[in-house]
Chain A
Amino acid sequence: MKLTLHICDKEDKFWRARNFLREVFLLNDRLEHSWHVARLDYWRWHYILTCNICKSVEAGMALWENADAKIVAALNHLGGSELRLHVHPQFYSANLEHEMLAYAEENYFATAEDGRRYIYLPIFQDDTRRQGLVQSRGYKKQEGWGHHYRRDLNSPIPDVPFPDGYVIRLMGGVEEYPARSWCSWRAFHNDEPDSNYDGDYAWYANLQSAPLYRRDLDVVASAPDGSIAAFCTIFYDDYTRSAVTVLVGVAAEHWRRGLGKAVMTEGLSRLKTLGCTRVFSTAHEEPADALYRSMLKDMKITDTWLKVL
């Protein structure tokens, strides 16, 4: 089968790739053997637009098409030197994945301080096929894990205790960008001096311009003083009836009060009302891991596989 490599350099290609991910996700029984379309949106509208860890869609996404111009595989450069492979299960071949990895090793590598080039990707612990394939190319398993939680929303979502004085509600308008941005800082950079905070909250408008963003799934907990204490932003794809929690955090001064659980519970309830039947959250560090473990039922583990080029 003759496949053609295309850089994702046109808007139309990007949108075709979004629907390709949906198709593959459904064919894979809605398990994350490929990206959920929410992750592609988050990559473009947050990682690229705000974090700049990848220069552009064009610089970070390649597509393989068959003779009928159907996308059969996609490759994403998440940023740094981290990869994601998305392969249509009916078009899978070892040759195709070798070709994708060869392209990535040529174009998506990063360079360490000692000048060595390297590249890496997460692989599920039970995906022995891909593990064998990358091992044959010289990849080695490294420290670093990802816990990929999911929960089917086919049973009632239990209420959780909620501290007095806090209010769960939706994110407000533009006027709340500064408060929301500050809460993110206190949630994710609480070990840094506040003087490092640049005060730039334009990133929130970037996030809100993602096609899957909806303010009615952007849940916050406001503290008695009116400040935002916690947040849970969810991207829901009604086509696959599934969702991803893209941002969940609690400002450090409000930790250990059950706010993380509270905003997630509200988000899950809202998802269920909208018709969502499965939700995903991924953790790479302990606080998030504990929260998702308590809220979501099933989990798959990825290991990190790295190749020094």
Chain B
Amino acid sequence: MDLKEYKHHCSLDDPLPDVPATPGYTIRALGNGLELLERCYAMGPGFYKDDVNATRAKRDHPGWYRSLQSARLYRCDLDLIVVASHGNIAAFCSIWFDDVTRTACFEPVAIVPAHQRRGLARAIMIEGMHRIKHMGCKVVFVSGSSAVANALYFSVMGGEHDIYELWEKLLKVERNYIR
């Protein structure tokens, strides 16, 4: 198959660039209540673009986000959002930091389409890298499958990466096993 996944990794030993200015936007940790619903909603345009139903489902049934928040490595201080001046969430990224191995992983990273091409993704990722470095993190990882995502990750994290390729096996189905 042709699908490739880039596994980017970046050492945090060297000084990090300053967080780029994002006029009209604020980067901070996700809050609770209505903001959590807004974050659920942003997942739709962030990942499903024109699929209004998927977007609405994400907001109307926020239990999925509560489940995610109960994961052992979830920390709400590493669940970052970029908030536009009118209060909408324009971008988000969650970082999973493991203090045993001193490594972290970005998952997910997304920009709401109306706010793309303003440097928000780069800004929120660099803010996140500062936060985890401050906590003692040594290496951070992120995976990208699309050209756009990989361009962002190369620009933020440098050139270090591995490539995962998909290997496929067609399994024979024994007739006797088909019911």
Q: Residues of A with Cβ closer than 8 Å to B? A: 11, 15, 18-19, 22, 169-170, 172-173, 208-216, 238-239, 273-275
Contacts and interface: CB of A to CB of B under 8 A. Distances in A.
A267 to B, nearest CB: 15
B155 interface: no
Contact of B75 (A11, A19, A169, A215): A215
A216 B76 contact: yes
A106 B32 CA distance: 51
Given A170-B32, A273-B70, A274-B72, A211 B99 contact: yes
A79 B31 CA distance: 36
B136 A216 contact: no
A216 to B, nearest CB: 5
Contacts of A211: 97, 99, 135-136
B28 interface: yes
4 interchain residue pairs of minimum CB distance: A238-B72, A211-B99, A214-B75, A215-B77
Nearest to B97: A211
B29 A238 contact: no
Name, among A19, A172, A215, the residue most crowded by chain B CB atoms within 10 Å (CB to CB): A215
Contacts of A172: 31
Contacts of B74: 216
A19 B100 CA distance: 7
5 contacts: A15-B136, A18-B99, A170-B32, A215-B76, A273-B70
Contact of A216 (B75, B97, B99): B75
Given A22-B100, A170-B76, A216 B29 contact: no
A209 B72 contact: no
Interface in B94-148: 97, 99-100, 102, 134-136
A212 B135 CA distance: 9
Contact of A208 (B28, B72, B77, B100): B77
B69 A173 contact: no
Name the residue among B77, B99, B102 with the largest chain A CB count within 10 angstroms: B99
A273 B100 CA distance: 21
Given A173-B29, A211-B136, A216 B73 contact: no
A20 to B, nearest CB: 12
A274 B70 contact: yes
Contacts of B29: 173, 215
Given A212-B99, A214-B75, A173 B70 contact: no
A221 B73 CA distance: 25
Interface residues of B, number: 19
Nearest to A174: B28
Contact of A173 (B28, B97, B99): B28
Contacts of A216: 69, 74-76
A209 B70 contact: no
Nearest to A212: B99
Nearest to B75: A214
A7 B72 CA distance: 33
Contacts of B97: 211
Nearest to A208: B77
Contacts of A15: 102, 136
A272 B77 CA distance: 20
Interface in B51-90: 69-70, 72-77
B66 to A, nearest CB: 10
B127 to A, nearest CB: 14
B136 to A, nearest CB: 5
Contacts of A273: 70
Contacts of A19: 100
Contacts of A238: 72-73
A213 B131 CA distance: 12
A172 B29 CA distance: 10
Given A211-B97, A216-B75, 15 more contacts: A11-B136, A15-B136, A18-B99, A169-B32, A170-B76, A208-B77, A210-B135, A211-B136, A214-B77, A215-B29, A215-B76, A215-B77, A216-B76, A238-B72, A274-B72
Interface in B10-67: 28-29, 31-32
B72 A275 contact: yes
B149 to A, nearest CB: 28
A70 B69 CA distance: 36
Contacts of B32: 169-170
Contacts of B70: 273-274
